[in-house]
């Protein structure tokens, strides 16, 4: 279990607050629009016979890739030599 999961498991009040916050965020019109767009893209890919099981859609490359590769792909702060503090 990762650090955040352990934290929320041992701090029920914080977890409840997080769920309330997530609920507000997911109810925003822009989030609904984003989810609808992703659903449309996934449905179209399935219809075309692509195997998208367990993959995320990358908006930059406009293709499906594993979530680990898509997570933070090519952020300037993650590039070698970045001045970002750790």
Average pLDDT, the chain: 88
Its pTM stands at 0.67
Instruction: Say what angle helices 3-10 and 12-26 make with each other, to 10 degrees.
Output: 110
| Rounded percentage of the chain residues whose pLDDT exceeds 70 | 83
Which structure tokens are listed for 80? 């070698």
Q: What is the pLDDT of residues 39-81, one digit of tens each?
A: 999 999 999 999 999 999 988 889 999 988 888 766 665 566 6
What lies within 8 Å, CB to CB, of 76 at 6+ separation is: 82
């Amino acid at each position: 279990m990762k650090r955040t999961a352990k934290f929320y498991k041992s701090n029920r009040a914080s977890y409840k607050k997080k769920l309330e916050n997530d609920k507000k965020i997911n109810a925003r019109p822009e989030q609904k629009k984003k989810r609808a767009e992703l659903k449309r893209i996934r449905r179209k890919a399935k219809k075309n016979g692509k195997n998208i099981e367990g993959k995320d859609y990358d908006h930059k490359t406009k293709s499906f890739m594993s979530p680990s590769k898509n997570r933070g792909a090519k952020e300037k702060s993650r590039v070698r030599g970045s001045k970002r503090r750790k």
